[in-house]
A = this chain, B = another copy of it.
Amino acid sequence: MTRIALDASGGDFAPTNPVLGALSALEVLPESCEIVLIGPRAEVEAELRSQGEPPDRISVVDAPETIGMAEKPLSAVRSKKRSSIVLGLSMHKAGDVDAFISAGNTGAVMAASTLLLGLTDGVERPAIGAILPSVPDPVLLLDAGANVDCSAEELLGFAYLGAVYARDVLRRPAPRVGLLNIGEESEKGNAVAKEAHQLFRRSDHFTFAGNVEGSDILVNKCDVIACDGFVGNIVLKFYESTGRIFADLLKREVDPAILSGPGMGRVLRFLDYSEYGGAPLLGVRGISIICHGRSSPAAIKNAIRVAMQSVDSHLTQHIRDEFAEGGAVA
């Protein structure tokens, strides 16, 4: 039996989108999977009932407090013990659930995951992994915003975390890891990138694909791209905006109805990284998945699917093993 906790009060469209996402996930997931919705009981149950008789495999845990999207993460986590984020991660820590998913305050999910679950031995900092579309398969970029000033050793840690995730969840048996940089040559980049290049080159935990430039991110040059959270966050948010801008341009310059035309659904899905199911917070002792605040029911459903895969593949155990093997990171 796998139990996934889902924050039903986090995100811009709670509890509706979490509830809809959970219901549609249960239609496709195996019978052994249960979902625990965590949020203000009356509201969540009303939303559930509005969709018909709730299935047996869904339950509700009451979380009367709410952490707002703009609240200071650390103080909110410390003061709101009965919030969905704190309750859900406490249940995960206690072994009552196997994973936690939230579209709520990203900083609060990160802080609570680190405080409550703790870090994997050997991990200096947890990293947010963002899945970006790439032809033919998506690429994992990390860190996407958890850490802004990183050492070369920390970047190597991100490479390890990403390689394990790529093997377990993205199904890449021999992941190629690239280092985000401004040129292919080893001497290119800022001081940290130059040092990281040497560490990556010497590592035998993954196949080093070399430096990857901005133009290489979406072209399947590798399975995992390591970078600090400052540049990673900027690239991720920039990417999101380009999809919207392309769509607006097409509507304005070509045809207001173009986005509903044939084939366009596939283009828009390709550009929409929420399709890939949330961003894992890697390096904590458990499965914690952060969704975009604007997540659709389909995005929530995909995040639940990714959480299931993470549990089934023993991701947490594999990350522990990776860092235990001779102290992966210098």
Binding site for B on A (CB under 8 A): 135, 145, 148-149, 180-182, 189-191, 193, 213-219, 228-231, 233-242, 245-246, 248-250, 253-255, 261-264, 266-267, 270-271
Contacts and interface: CB of A to CB of B under 8 A. Distances in A.
A241 B253 contact: no
A248 B190 CA distance: 32
B267 A245 contact: no
Contact of A231 (B230, B237, B255): B230
A134 to B, nearest CB: 9
Given A149-B191, A217-B241, A238-B238, 16 more contacts: A135-B248, A189-B230, A214-B233, A214-B238, A214-B239, A214-B241, A216-B241, A218-B242, A219-B241, A219-B245, A235-B235, A249-B270, A253-B263, A254-B261, A254-B267, A255-B263
Contacts of A229: 182
Q: How many copies does the complex hold?
A: 2
20 contacts: A135-B248, A148-B189, A148-B190, A149-B190, A180-B234, A182-B237, A189-B230, A214-B239, A214-B240, A214-B241, A217-B238, A217-B241, A231-B234, A242-B242, A246-B271, A249-B270, A253-B264, A253-B270, A254-B261, A254-B262
A158 to B, nearest CB: 16
A266 B253 contact: yes
Nearest to A217: B238
A213 B240 CA distance: 11
Contacts of A245: 135, 218-219
A254 B249 contact: no
Contacts of A250: 267
Contacts of A216: 241
A216 B242 CA distance: 10
Contacts of A266: 249, 253
Contacts of A239: 214, 238, 242
B215 A240 contact: yes
